[in-house]
């Protein structure tokens, strides 16, 4: 049955009517290029559809790594679940040596930190650097004093041009569950103090890009497999939103600018733009973005 | 604007310890006030019980081995299960109160309830929402946490108020229970009922 399903995916890849891969990113020499996905680990058809779209875009925008925003595996976490909900959907990307860097979500067993393809290195939280960008991977499910102390230390020591934090729970969102205000109270002061430029989160199964909050850009990218249709709403804090289908984000950092493009399960571009890192900003409104297909409320 | 967390912890512990002192004094009016802060005694005792568990845990880990990052999820599962089975066997006689003693439980339950009272309705509702996807089960000592259900996000501003734990252990909220869990083994070590307002 599984082999027939896989054969079906291959067969439909050419036949399915999907939008041509419309790259809105500059593909500058030496840029840091990555994929952003959240709440992916269902193993269902939609996850495979999104994964196939990531592969198609990856052939024209060759990203070298991915950041996973948690809920990497839903339900049981037996070996066969890791195979069905991660290895199989992303096989082609893994074979292309795309490095997956996972954060833990509330559906994730913390023992996922030992699963080598997630690159947590046995830790619940970690930091890593790509070019002039330092990423801080936070475990927002269990923000204990030890992690907070680690985070403050790492943020203060980082000399990287860009500081990007990612974790599972959004500090700002219009989704019905609302933002995680307790996490915001703990994390935002540190982020502001130490010049974090961008925060990526998942948990809400939608796409949102916010206007800068205390100078920090926030993206919710939680629709790599799950979807809550109609869960976003218009708000002055929202620069772009999409909740009609699954989605993921492509990002490219070149110098002081981060370029981004949100793509749906069918390959449509629903948001694109650029933003300038905090220290390099000279004007108050520094994000230039346009939602290619503004979300409509039901 | 939030006051420093240490202020809230000291205030809440002071309230809880005052209740403990008054209760102790009322037991026997001829007894002189205790020379030692009873709260400190309870927390020191808790730390000692955690240490004792960690020593036992180490002896099991020395047998099953440490786990390094691996591509094999099967290896992770086997190791976790082996560790859990070893711990459960070694603590076959464990019962509620062995780590979360009644005195400790009373202090912590008071601390948690006082902390909840300080939070806005929206925060309390969010905390309640975090329980939505959890199974409706009653924890028992040596129970494996159900693997098909998520672990509720721990309230971020509550966690710093609780006594610190080694990284191998964690607190979790399950409905109105505060649970002590071994992370790698996924075993519930102890719990406090009616600790968390719902």
Instruction: Check CB contact under 8 Å for A106 and B155.
Output: no
| Rounded CA separation B112/B197 (Å) | 8
| Rounded CA separation A218/B115 (Å) | 29
Residue B141 has pLDDT above 70, yes or no: yes
pLDDT value, residue B130: 83
pLDDT value, residue A283: 52
User: Which of A235, A227, A195, A228 has its CA nearest to residue A211?
Assistant: A235
Across B147-165, average pLDDT: 91
Question: Domain for residue B32, yes or no?
Answer: no
| Rounded CA separation A214/A211 (Å) | 10
Task: State the nearest Cα–Cα gap between A278 and chain B, in angstroms.
Answer: 25
Question: Domain for residue B165, yes or no?
Answer: yes
Integer-rounded Cα Rg, in Å, for chain A is 18
pLDDT value, residue B147: 81
Instruction: Check CB contact under 8 Å for B69 and A120.
Output: yes
**From the list A79, A145, A148, which residue is nearest B73 (CB)?**
A79
A164 CB-near residues (< 8 Å, 6+ apart): A133, A134, A135, A136, A196, A197, A198, A199, A200
Question: Domain for residue B197, yes or no?
Answer: no
Taking contacts as CB-CB distances below 8 angstroms, the residues of chain A near B150 are: 106-108
| Rounded CA separation A36/A208 (Å) | 13
| Rounded CA separation B71/B88 (Å) | 27
Across B130-158, average pLDDT: 87
The SS3 of residue B167 is coil
Question: Domain for residue B63, yes or no?
Answer: yes
Question: Domain for residue B151, yes or no?
Answer: yes
CB contact at 8 A, B147 and A76: yes
CB contact at 8 A, B131 and B175: yes
pLDDT value, residue B25: 46
Question: Domain for residue B17, yes or no?
Answer: no
Please report, in tens digits, the pLDDT of each residue of chain A (298 residues total). 333 323 334 444 443 444 567 899 999 999 999 999 999 999 999 999 999 999 999 999 999 999 999 999 999 999 999 999 999 999 999 999 999 999 999 999 999 999 999 999 999 999 999 999 999 999 999 999 999 999 999 999 999 999 999 999 999 999 998 999 999 999 999 999 999 999 999 999 999 999 999 999 999 999 999 999 999 999 999 999 999 999 999 999 999 999 999 999 999 999 999 999 998 986 554 455 655 433 322 2
**From the list B69, B129, B152, which residue is nearest A114 (CB)?**
B69
DSSP string for residues in A118-180: G--TT-SSEEEEETTEEEEE--TT---HHHHHHHHHHHHH---SEEEEE-SS-SS--STT---
Percent of chain B with pLDDT over 90: 63
pLDDT value, residue B129: 84
Helices B73-90 and B38-64: crossing angle in degrees, nearest 10, is 120
pLDDT value, residue A20: 60
Instruction: Check CB contact under 8 Å for A178 and B186.
Output: no
Q: What are the phi and psi torsion angles at A245 (to 5°)?
A: -155, 170
Question: Residue B187 CB: number of other CB atoms within 10 A?
Answer: 22
Instruction: Check CB contact under 8 Å for A107 and B150.
Output: yes
| Rounded CA separation A289/A47 (Å) | 27
A93 vs B125: which has the higher pLDDT: A93
Complex-level ipTM beyond the 0.95 threshold: no
User: Domain containing B45: what range?
Assistant: 38-192
Question: Domain for residue B31, yes or no?
Answer: no
| Rounded CA separation A165/A183 (Å) | 13
CB contact at 8 A, A79 and B73: yes
- Alpha-carbon distances of B110 from B11, B116, B138, B153, rounded to whole Å: 12, 10, 21, 21
**From the list A106, A144, A178, which residue is nearest B126 (CB)?**
A178
**From the list A83, A117, A182, which residue is nearest B157 (CB)?**
A182
Of the pLDDT bands very low, low, confident and very high (cuts 50, 70, 90), residue B22 is very low
Residue B10 has pLDDT above 90, yes or no: no
Q: Which residues of B touch A (CB under 8 A)?
A: 2, 67-74, 76-77, 80, 122-123, 126, 129-130, 133, 147-148, 150-157, 159-160, 164-165, 167, 170, 183-184, 186
**From the list B154, B164, B186, which residue is nearest A145 (CB)?**
B164
Instruction: Check CB contact under 8 Å for A182 and B126.
Output: yes
Instruction: Check CB contact under 8 Å for A79 and B77.
Output: yes
Question: Domain for residue B128, yes or no?
Answer: yes
Instruction: Check CB contact under 8 Å for B67 and A106.
Output: no
| pLDDT one-digit tens code per residue, B166-176 | 999 999 999 99
Instruction: Check CB contact under 8 Å for A111 and B153.
Output: no
CA-nearest residue of chain A to B152? A106
pLDDT value, residue B29: 47
CB contact at 8 A, A46 and A246: yes
Instruction: Check CB contact under 8 Å for B126 and A75.
Output: no
User: Which of B12, B165, B185 has its CA nearest to residue B83?
Assistant: B185
Sign of the C-alpha dihedral computed for residues A70, A71, A77 and A81 taken in this order: negative
Percent of chain B with pLDDT over 70: 82
User: How many structural domains compose chain B?
Assistant: 1
What is the per-residue burial (b if ≥16 Cβ within 10 Å, else e) of B11-27?
Answer: ebbeebbeebeeeeeee
| pLDDT one-digit tens code per residue, B56-99 | 999 999 999 888 899 899 999 999 999 999 999 999 999 999 99
| Rounded CA separation B181/B142 (Å) | 9
């Amino acid at each position: 049955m599984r082999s027939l399903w896989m054969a079906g995916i291959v067969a439909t890849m050419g036949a399915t009517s999907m939008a041509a891969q419309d790259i809105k990113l500059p593909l500058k020499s030496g840029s840091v290029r990555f994929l952003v996905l959240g709440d992916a680990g269902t193993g269902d058809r939609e996850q495979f559809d999104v994964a196939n779209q990531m592969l198609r875009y990856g052939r024209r925008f060759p990203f070298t790594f991915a950041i996973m925003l948690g809920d990497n595996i839903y339900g049981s976490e037996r070996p066969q679940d890791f195979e069905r909900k991660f290895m199989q959907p992303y096989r082609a990307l893994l074979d292309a040596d795309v490095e997956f860097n996972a954060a833990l979500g509330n559906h994730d067993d913390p023992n996922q930190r030992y699963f080598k393809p997630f690159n947590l290195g046995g830790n619940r939280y970690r930091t890593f650097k790509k070019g002039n960008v330092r990423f801080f991977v936070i475990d927002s499910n269990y923000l204990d004093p030890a992690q907070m102390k680690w985070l403050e230390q790492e943020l203060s020591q980082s000399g990287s041009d860009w500081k990007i934090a990612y974790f599972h729970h959004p500090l700002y969102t219009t989704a019905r569950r609302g933002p995680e205000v307790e996490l915001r109270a703990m994390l935002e002061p540190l982020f502001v103090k130490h010049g974090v430029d961008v925060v990526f989160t998942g948990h809400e199964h939608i796409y949102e890009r916010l206007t800068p909050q205390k100078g920090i850009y926030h993206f919710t990218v939680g629709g790599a497999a799950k979807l809550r249709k109609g869960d976003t709403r218009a708000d002055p804090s929202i620069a772009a939103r999409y909740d009609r289908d699954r989605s993921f984000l492509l990002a490219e950092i070149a110098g002081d600018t981060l370029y981004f493009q949100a793509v749906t399960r069918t390959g449509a571009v629903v948001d694109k733009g650029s933003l300038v890192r905090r220290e390099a900003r000279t004007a108050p409104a520094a994000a230039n973005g346009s939602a290619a297909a503004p979300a409509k409320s039901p | 604007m939030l006051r420093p967390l240490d202020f809230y912890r000291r205030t809440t512990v002071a309230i809880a310890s005052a209740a403990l002192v008054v209760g102790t004094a009322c037991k026997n009016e001829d007894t002189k006030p205790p020379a030692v802060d009873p709260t400190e005694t309870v927390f020191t005792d808790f730390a000692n019980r955690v240490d004792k568990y960690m020593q036992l845990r180490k002896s099991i880990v020395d047998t099953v081995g440490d786990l390094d990052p691996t591509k094999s999820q099967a290896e992770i599962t086997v190791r976790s299960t082996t560790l859990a089975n070893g711990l459960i066997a070694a603590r076959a006689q464990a019962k509620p109160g062995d780590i979360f003693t009644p005195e400790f439980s009373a202090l912590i339950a008071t601390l948690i309830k006082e902390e909840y009272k300080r939070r806005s309705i929206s925060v309390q509702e969010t905390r309640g929402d975090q329980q939505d996807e959890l199974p409706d089960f009653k924890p028992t000592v040596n129970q494996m946490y159900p693997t098909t259900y998520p672990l509720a996000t721990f309230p971020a501003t509550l966690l710093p108020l609780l006594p610190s734990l080694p990284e191998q252990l964690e607190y979790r909220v399950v409905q109105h229970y505060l649970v002590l869990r071994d992370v790698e083994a996924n075993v519930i070590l102890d719990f406090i009922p009616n600790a968390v307002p719902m």
